[in-house]
Structure 1
Amino acid sequence: MPTTTPRILLAGGGSAGHVSPLLATAAQITRRCPEAEVIVLGTQEGLEADLVPAAGYELVTIDKVPFPRRPNGDALRFPGRFGATLRSVRTLLRDREIDVVAGFGGYVCPPAYLASASLRRPLVVHEANRRPGLANRLGARRAAAVLTAFEGSSLPGARRIGMPMREGIAHLDRAAHREQAVRGFGLDPACPVLLATGGSLGALRLNTAVAEAAAAFVEEGAQILHVTGRGKAEGLPELEGYQVVEYVGAMEDAYAAADLALTRSGAGTVCELTAVGLPAVLVPLPIGNGEQALNGEQVVAAGGALMVPDGELDAAHLRHQVLPLLRDQDRLATMAEASRAFGITDAAEVMADVVTGVARRA
């Protein structure tokens, strides 16, 4: 049903790994195709409940109905609950005359994918991790386009475009903004800066190791910008050159201030680090299906990062391995070049073009 006004449903939510690329894509759709109507499908419990309306997009919520992993009461109730959710999404697609569904993974995607299939609406799938989740494995079977953040996906017909991200990060010039960013965090531009962060929720092992090693870094003329996660900064040492913050609203400022990052290796983090060309020491989360280690492997192989198993990260490792690296500007420059060569900065634009193109052909 051709239309002069593309009507697009973006499905995804729950975590920042789903919501951030969704919103980055929405922003580029709006910029590149101002007449497009963009609706977001999410839940009331995920980050999207706050972030999507704040970004100016309509959010339609459905119940979170995870697939049961064991036979119990939830398993018995699942068919009825999932069926009701599926019917509500079908109604949404019909009533709003949606031309294309674009999914980013998460609990809302299976009903969105099945509803689009039943109504023969085209589907575009974006997979952030090298090891795809169940929802996107389901959707990729009939998708008009399967787009990924990394090479080597097992999804059929996958094409790497990178991770859609905000313009402020994707097109950051770290060198041009470094001095202002460093001063903004109360640090000295003449001294190297380690950015240590476990994400918005923090990471206990990273926080503990960094706090214990902070004095040694400062004594050697290095600095640390430690983003602890909300509610995780209490009790950490107070040292000049060791700046502790719970949260950074604009991560591009932290990336610009840093010479080296110590982080988890979630897909979004890895893609942002490489887009801005920031060398990193990656510490994969040791739970789940191992996707964080997979996400970082290709960057390590390219020379843009090092990887340390979670169990080996402690204050001694930071003092003996990370601190010398932070002070080796030549090696950091080589790593930064390799990181930037691996990174992709226009994923949001490409994703937006693919989605609107499919919508116009619908």
Structure 2
Amino acid sequence: MTYAIAAAGTGGHVYPAIAVADALLEGGVARNQILFVGGSRLAATAVPAAGYDYLEVEIRGLRRSLSLDNLTLPSVVWRASKRIETELRHRSVTAAIGFGGYISVPTAWAARRVGADYYVHEQNAVPGVANRLVSRRAKASFIAFPEAADQLRRSQLVGNPLRSALAHYNRDQLRPAALEHYGLAGDRPILGVLGGSLGAKVLNEATGRVADALDQEEVAIVHLTGHAHYESVSAVAAGSAQQWKVLPFEDHMEHFYAVSDVVLSRAGALTVSELAATGTPAVMVPYAAGAAGHQAANAAHLAEAGGAELVAEDQIDRVPVLLQQLIADTERRNKMAKAAASVGKPDAAQVIARSLLDAIGPA
């Protein structure tokens, strides 16, 4: 029996899908019995790099602005669906799971025509349009946040699938190696900053204000900027008296969380899930321009549990003072860490894989 996994677009769709594929391998499925389906963006390089077969199809999403391109979308989706159907038949696929985004619709249609069971995974608290559509006929909808349950059929709360190093995370064991990884002594609290690409300028500026306000012995900073902001943040850090480590990207996020005593970040679905799974206190500033308020809804889940402080972007001036308070208050950070861990679901990939295996069986 063969499994198809549909994932395209950003890492928020692609990396959870790869985590589930890895869990299927652990469950006894042969690698050549797992087929990924996606477009030409991140998945086209990340999936083959992870060692899985990949079917690239021409597909795009609905443009939110008025555009003549939207008139051709039905034919694009239909052609993609027919190509996917051909491959699913050839491989005798018996189960398919989609991780949202524009690739989900043609894959769900193809799965239905070949008689394969179709499953959904939704990463956000507010489900996307594609998942809401295909969940109507899905055998099950796996969700990361309880708020999504009302909008998806046959929902099961499992969390977001995380890479193995985070699913089996142990901060105490990892911290010595993490400190060495960043060249830090661990003799003061460490602020981790997840800048990324989504309007990270406001987070970068807030970090600079924290660095300016605190004495050198009070804090160290590990700052993941994303490639777009690496040079500008590096220049600021070079002129600071603080221990301020700046990196464009981190392949081993377990090091970042193990070294961070508190994190400043946006509120993407995977970030929220990783903070909870690793029990890391955070100050979160949801991306104000995000579709349908996804990030604010994601962050609210962790904030309500007591694991994070939530700050609206138009109140960004609160962030430096809030971070200074948390950096100085070990007891408060420890309480937040326990609260975050209480809602963490680090085994989501294994739960989904077991559900597929129980329903379909090993390949």
The question of a shared fold, defined as TM-score above 0.5 by the shorter chain, is answered with yes
Give the drift of 1:78: 2.3
Choose which of 123, 127, 131 in structure 2 pairs with 1:128. Answer: 123
Q: SS where residue 224 of structure 1 aligns?
A: strand
Amino acid in structure 1 at the alignment position of 2:25: T
The C-alpha deviation readout for 1:217-267, integer Å capped at 9, x for no partner, is: 343611111111114132223234122121111111000001001111111
**2: CA distance between counterparts of 1:293 and 1:71?**
26
**Which residue of structure 1 aligns with residue 169 of structure 2?**
172
Give the drift of 1:72: 4.2
**Which residue of structure 2 aligns with residue 106 of structure 1?**
101
**1: CA distance between counterparts of 2:224 and 2:78?**
42
Of 32-41 and 146-155, deviating more is: 32-41
**Which residue of structure 1 aligns with residue 357 of structure 2?**
356
Choose which of 11, 26, 29 in structure 2 pairs with 1:31. Answer: 26
Q: Is the contact between residue 217 and residue 223 of structure 1 (CA under 8 Å) also seen in structure 2? A: no
**1: CA distance between counterparts of 2:325 and 2:140?**
45
**2: CA distance between counterparts of 1:121 and 1:98?**
6
Amino acid in structure 1 at the alignment position of 2:236: L
Which structure has greater helix proportion?
Answer: 2
2:48 matches 1:42: no
**Which residue of structure 2 aligns with residue 324 of structure 1?**
325
Give the drift of 1:214: 1.4
**1: CA distance between counterparts of 2:253 and 2:362?**
37
Give the drift of 1:77: 2.1
Q: SS where residue 236 of structure 1 aligns?
A: helix
Amino acid in structure 2 at the alignment position of 1:93: L
**Which residue of structure 2 aligns with residue 335 of structure 1?**
336
2:21 matches 1:20: no
2:294 matches 1:298: no
Change (3 A) 1:324 1:216: same
**Please, what is the CA RMSD of the aligned residues?**
1.9
Q: Is the contact between residue 202 and residue 228 of structure 1 (CA under 8 Å) also seen in structure 2? A: no
Amino acid in structure 1 at the alignment position of 2:171: R
**Which residue of structure 2 aligns with residue 195 of structure 1?**
192
Amino acid in structure 2 at the alignment position of 1:310: E
Change (3 A) 1:242 1:90: same
**Which residue of structure 2 aligns with residue 275 of structure 1?**
277
Give the drift of 1:206: 0.6
Q: Is the contact between residue 131 and residue 294 of structure 1 (CA under 8 Å) also seen in structure 2? A: yes
Give the drift of 1:330: 0.5
The C-alpha deviation readout for 1:84-136, integer Å capped at 9, x for no partner, is: 11211111111111111111111111100111123332111111111101111
**Which residue of structure 2 aligns with residue 3 of structure 1?**
none
Of 151-160 and 278-287, deviating more is: 151-160
Give the drift of 1:202: 7.0
2:214 matches 1:211: no
Amino acid in structure 1 at the alignment position of 2:152: L
Q: SS where residue 358 of structure 1 aligns?
A: helix
Give the drift of 1:346: 0.7
Alignment of 1:80-119 (within 5 A): 80-119=75-114
Give the drift of 1:201: 6.3
The C-alpha deviation readout for 1:27-46, integer Å capped at 9, x for no partner, is: 010111233610000111x2
Give the drift of 1:194: 0.7
Q: Is the contact between residue 195 and residue 224 of structure 1 (CA under 8 Å) also seen in structure 2? A: yes
Give the drift of 1:71: 5.7
Q: Unmatched 5+ residue regions in structure 1?
A: 1-5
Moved over 6 A (4+): none
Q: Is the contact between residue 8 and residue 359 of structure 1 (CA under 8 Å) also seen in structure 2? A: no
**2: CA distance between counterparts of 1:35 and 1:340?**
33
Of 147-156 and 210-219, deviating more is: 210-219
Q: Is the contact between residue 125 and residue 145 of structure 1 (CA under 8 Å) also seen in structure 2? A: yes
TM-score, with normalisation over the residues of structure 2?
0.92
